[in-house]
Structure 1
């Protein structure tokens, strides 16, 4: 049991799980827009997520707080380095315009982590903007990049799906912010800090309704996807309702982040 817990802890701490979630959303994008599975695109996002998230999570610990590097952190560093090499490999398999947009997303990630401006904190610590930056990055990586690389024109369906994807990630982050309420710096002005847990839950539940209703407006509308989306929405609603600051970190870092993976599995097997 102790070994299993250690494996699970490493799986989550090394950002493999969140990378799988991004990978799943890329697969959902392929499905929705009838794009032939592009392995290079999907793996670029997967390994890029590992590199990006580990950089965001551990840069401050090592560079600023000078935390001692333990064995697990060393293994995560090796994994991140290997992932960086693979990101570089798959980057050169992408089209030029996709590479340019990917570099823009990378720049936003760097801005999120590093203090580029004098006497200013990094974007991660700017009051009230964290949730929007992360949501935009996820939309860019899991929706915009695959469509650009497949040379799909930005038609009406694209904008509908961008709104849906933004809402989905926004709501997922709301659950994280509820769980992390006791530990977050008050100056971050997260949504629960600003409007309280009750109204954050109401906001999350309210946003899931337009997320589902927007499915009716896409040109590739079908009842199969509508039904699967409904299951996913109901699942997310339960996570929102039962979220509270006393929950284990695995409530979000494993179960909530599993929602995109479960969504993709339903698309594949149902």
Structure 2
């Protein structure tokens, strides 16, 4: 049992779970645009997310030379491996996808590493949520399409907007859970408008997310049904979110939403 707990802790805090969530969104893009599986792009998204999230979470500990537990050494090992494999995948992408990835990588570095007395982008009031959403939407929507040579037309940008909104919605649930611990200087949405209004905002954003599906060139009835289930699930997570919740409410369950979404798509597609 102790071994299972340690493995689960490493799975969550070593960013493997969030990397699978990002990979799930990439696979959703392949499904939505009828594209074949692209191993270099999928690998880049998975390994890049794993390294990027661990870099953001733990770089300060290594930079400041704080004491390292066995967990941190294991995270360093898996992160270096992910960096190497992600680099291999990067060089297998086309030029357009590579340029896009460099832009998102630069945002990630600016987000994590302090520059001068102003700190990093993460410390700027109210901006964190948009940077994370931009990176998630870009890596999981625009990059797979660019690497497949697909023109970024109306449907592509609609999916980008949907993915951007979904990420914002999930982050707002995180911000509700973290309300008691977040520094007031961050000026998160729940800090500014309260928990009740943040929940209401999330429900409104979910309605917009669902409506965007009707603006596509071709409206897939199966996808509409799957999105109903997604909206209901995320709505329940939103209404159940509170600062009293265990951290794994978001770290595992909320971050499982993309995996759940992909699973529903494959399940419905099998009938």
1:233 aligns with 2:247: no
Cα distance in 2 for residues equivalent to 1:154 and 1:87: 24
Give the gaps of 5 or more residues in structure 1: none
TM-score by length of 2: 0.97
Q: Tell me how far 1:119 sits from its aligned partner.
A: 1.9
Deviation per CA, 1:36-68: give whole Å up to 9, x if none: 11111011100000010000001123324x431
Q: 2:242 matched to which residue of 1?
A: 244
Structure 1 SS opposite 2:118: coil
Cα distance in 1 for residues equivalent to 2:260 and 2:150: 26
Cα distance in 1 for residues equivalent to 2:214 and 2:3: 46
Give the alignment's Cα RMSD to 1 decimal: 0.9
Residue pairs, 1:71-150, within 5 angstroms: 71-116=70-115, 118-150=116-148
Change (3 A) 1:267 1:13: same
Q: 1:190 matched to which residue of 2?
A: 188
Q: 2:58 matched to which residue of 1?
A: 58
Q: 1:170 matched to which residue of 2?
A: 168
Q: 1:223 matched to which residue of 2?
A: 221
Cα distance in 2 for residues equivalent to 1:19 and 1:67: 26
Q: 1:68 matched to which residue of 2?
A: 67
Deviation per CA, 1:210-230: give whole Å up to 9, x if none: 101111111231110110011
Cα distance in 2 for residues equivalent to 1:157 and 1:114: 35
Q: Answer whether contact 1:228 1:266 (CA < 8 A) is retained.
A: yes
How many residue pairs get aligned? The number is 268
Give the gaps of 5 or more residues in structure 2: none
Q: 2:203 matched to which residue of 1?
A: 205
Q: 1:22 matched to which residue of 2?
A: 22
Q: Answer whether contact 1:32 1:220 (CA < 8 A) is retained.
A: no
Structure 2 SS opposite 1:119: helix
